[in-house]
Structure 1
Amino acid sequence: MSKSFMRYLDTVIEGGDLRPFFTEDVELVVHGMPEIVRGRDEVATALDAMHGAFDGGPEPRAIVVGDRNAAAEAVWVGTHTGTFAGIEATGRQVRVPYAVLYDLTEDGISSLRIHGIHAGLMEQLR
C-alpha cells in the first residue's frame, strides 16, 4: 500500500485523477465544514473543487505511511482564483499549514480527515 499511497500523493501534487486511489465508499471529513462527503466520485469532485479554487497547491512537509494508516503534513500555497466555501476569487496569496490523516485498505484509501485547512483558508480569505 505504501507505493500506491506515494503514487496518490504524486497525483495530488500533479493535479491528476484521484478516483483510482479511493475505495468505492471513501469518506472525506474536512474539519470546520459541516458535511461529510461519501463516495469515490463525490470525494474526488470535492477535492478537485478545492484544488480548482487556487492556483497552487500542497507543499508536503512530512509523510508517515503504515499498513492501515497514513498521515501527511503540508502547507497549502497559492493564489485564490476561484470560489472556495462561497467566497469568490479574491486574488489573495495563501499559505496554510494543514494535516491529513488517512485510513488505508487493500482496495485503496477509505477515509481522509483534513485538519486545519478550512479554518486557515477562511482566516486568510476574509
Structure 2
Amino acid sequence: MVIQEAAEMYLETILRLKNKTGVVRAVDIAREMGYSKPTISEQMKKFRENGYVEVNNEGHISLTLKGMEIAESTLERHNVLGVILQKIGVSKDTAIEDACRIEHYISEETFQCLKDYFRDK
C-alpha cells in the first residue's frame, strides 16, 4: 500500500500520542504537529472516510487496524533508522531528524536488510 508522507506522519503522531497519553484529540495532534485545529479536523475526516481512524462522541481519535499497521510500520522505521544512524556516528539529534525523513522513502527490502545487518552490531 502506498500512502503519502504527510499521512504517515499524522498516523505516526496519533500512535505516539496514544502511547504517551492514552487519549488523542484533534487539539493534541495540532499542538504536536504545529498545525491548526481546522487542518487536523479536515485530515481526520479524510482518514475516517478512508478507514484509518475512528472518532468517538467525545472527540477521541483512535487508529483502526488499517491505520495502526501503517503507524506501527512508520514508527518502527523511524526508531530503527535513528539507532542505525547513531551507530555509524551521527549525532542523536541529527539521527532522529534524518530518520524522520528517510522513513518515508526507504523500501521495505532495504529497511529489512539494514535492520538485519545492524541487529547485532
Same fold (TM over 0.5): no
The TM-score with structure 1 as length reference comes to 0.29
* Larger-gyration structure (1/2): 2
Query: Which one has the bigger strand percentage?
Result: 1
Query: Which one has the bigger helix percentage?
Result: 2
